[in-house]
Amino acid sequence: MAAGAPAAQASTFDLPPPGDDLVGHVQIVTARQQDTLLDIARRYDVGYDEIRMANPGVDVWLPGAGTRVVVPTRFILPKSWKGIVVNVAEMRLFYFPKAKPKEPGKVITFPVSIGRGNWETPVARTRVAAKLKNPSWTPPASIRKEHEQMGEPPLPAVVPGGPGNPLGLFALQLALPGYLIHGTNKPYGVGMRVSHGCIRLYPRNIKALFKVVPVGTPVRIINRPEQVGWDDGRVYVEAYPSKGKKGLVDRRLAVIRKAVQQEVARVPGRTASDIDWTDVRRALAQPSGMPVNVTVGTREASAAASSSNPHP
Annotated catalytic residue, options 25, 147, 196, 198:
198
> Are 204 and 266 in contact, with CB atoms under 8 Å apart?
no
Altogether, the residues listed in the chain come to a count of: 312
Give CA–CA dist 275/270, Å, rounded.
11
Choose among 64, 63, 72, 66: nearest CA to 41.
Answer: 72
CA–CA distance, 64 with 31 (Å, rounded to integer): 7
Query: Which ranges of 84-202 does DSSP label H, i.e. alpha helix?
Result: 141-149
**Torsion, Cα of 145, 151, 157, 160 (10° steps):** -130
Nearest to 77 by CA among 157, 155, 19, 150: 19
Q: Tell me the Cα Rg of the chain.
A: 20
Considering the candidates 25, 147, 182, 196, report the single residue annotated as catalytic.
Answer: 182
For residue 291, the number of C-alpha atoms closer than 13 Å in the C-beta half-sphere is: 22
Closest CA to 199 of 90, 96, 288: 90
**CA 81/CA 306 separation, integer angstroms:** 29
State which H helix or E strand residue 83 sits in: strand 83-87
* DSSP code at position 247: G
Q: Produce one character per residue of 117-131: b if its CB has 16 or more CB atoms within 10 Å, e if not.
A: eebebeeeebbbbeb
CA–CA distance, 121 with 102 (Å, rounded to integer):
37
Helix, strand, or coil (residue 122):
coil
Is-catalytic flag, 198? Answer: yes
Q: Mind telling me the catalytic residues?
A: 182, 198
